[in-house]
Amino acid sequence: MQTEKNNNKNQRPIYIALGVAAVLLVVIAALYITQSVEMKEVVEEMTIEKNILTEEYQDLAMGYDSLESTSDTLNTMLEKERQKVEHLIEEIKTIKATNASKIREYRKELGTLRGVLKSYVAQIDSLNRLNEELKKENKEYQQRYSQIQNSYKELEDVKTELEDKVEIASRLETTNMSADGLNARGRSTSRTNRIDKIEICFTVKKNLTAPVGIKPFYIRLERPDGQILLRSREDLFEYEGTEINYSAMREIEYGGEETDICIFYDADMGELMPGEYTTDIFADGGNIGRFTFELK
């Protein structure tokens, strides 16, 4: 009996130690389970944070994709920023969710990149406004230019019309046109076999708008058979851009007042024929008179 009492007394500390150990194991297990749950929650939260951060970077990339500028330099800078954001997105995907320091670094970088994006948006908005203003100014300039062109054309038309009127008004006109055959004694005759000269007389009307000064007056005498009476093939003058022959000419000083002029053509023997003759009078590059006369 005494022995059993001694054994029980010796085993009591063991039971106590085992009990304490069991309690410790329970506490440790509880703590482990609690820490495991908390760690799992932390990992899940950090994974969520990583995914959110990734989405925010992707949104930032889309923000850069939506930007477009008319400036080649600005577009080049935007492309560099796009590539930088894409590179960071790939880096974020490769890091562990539990790498809190890296997550913080990328979060801080995100704030910086958002500021850069905001500055680019402001630059592009400013540039777009400037472009709109320039387009508006250019449109107004084009309208003013068109108005000026129209006004200039109208002035040119008026000028041309006035010049035409002045040209018409400055053309010389003739009246009292007549022809007379003269024999060798200077007496009038209409018989072709007795005519030594043909006298062409006319009156140039008053015209104060016509050029004044020494003017050559030309006559062309056309026989009934259509041949032009000539003294020389080299007797030429310009008419409507072409040089043509004249029968006779005379230079007269014209001052704008009514002026009487007579021009003589020396006829060769046998050159004239009976019939109707046509006379054209020229001055200042224009035909200023025409009439016909008869010779027998």
Rounded CA-CA distance 77/58 in Å is 19
Q: Is 137 within the bounds of a domain?
A: no
Nearest CA-CA partner of 202 in 288, 125, 130: 288
188 and 109 share one domain = no
| Residue span of the structural domain in which 9 resides | 2-123
**Per-residue pLDDT tens for 194-235?**
999 999 999 999 988 888 899 999 999 999 999 999 999 999
Query: Cα(67)–Cα(74) distance, rounded to whole angstroms?
Result: 10
Please check whether residue 93 lies inside any domain of the structure: yes
Instruction: Answer whether 0.75 is exceeded by the pTM.
Output: no
**Separation between Cα atoms, residue 62 and residue 95, nearest integer Å:** 22
pLDDT of residue 102: 75
Q: Of 123, 143, 163, which residue constitutes the final position of a domain?
A: 123
Question: Is the domain of 181 the same as that of 80?
Answer: no
In a domain, 147, yes or no: no
pLDDT of residue 97: 61
Residue 129 lies in a domain: no
| pLDDT tens, position by position, 231-280 | 999 999 999 889 999 999 999 999 989 999 999 999 988 899 999 999 99
Based on the structure, what is the number of domains in the chain? 2
Is residue 20 over pLDDT 80? no
* 9 in a structural domain: yes
> Is 143 a domain residue?
no
3-class secondary-structure state, position 75 = helix
In DSSP terms, which residues pair with 266 in a beta bridge?
A: 197
Directed axis angle between helix 72-94 and helix 2-65, to 10°?
170
With a CB cutoff of 8 Å and minimum separation 6, the contacts of 189 are 181, 182, 183, 195
Percent residues over pLDDT 90 in the chain: 34
75 falls within a domain? yes
- The answer to whether position 186 is within a domain reads yes
pLDDT on residue 204 = 93
Of 81, 104, 123, the last residue of a domain is: 123
Looking at the structure, tell me whether residues 97 and 198 fall in a common domain: no
DSSP string for 92-149: HHHS-TT-HHHHHHHHHHHHHHHHHHHHHHHHHHHHHHHHHHHHHHHHHHHHHHHHHH
The three-state secondary structure class of 203 is: strand
The CATH number given to whatever domain includes residue 185 is 2.60.40.10
In a shared domain, residues 289 and 181: yes
Tell me the pLDDT tens digit for each residue of 59-74.
Answer: 777 777 777 767 777 7
Residues 194 and 256 in one domain: yes
Question: 116 and 198 share a domain?
Answer: no
Whether residue 7 sits in one domain with residue 111: yes
Q: Where are the alpha helices (DSSP H) in the chain?
A: 2-65, 72-94, 100-170
For residue 146, how far is the Cα from the chain centroid? 12
Which residue, among 246, 248, 296, 241, has the nearest Cα to 274 in the 3D structure?
296
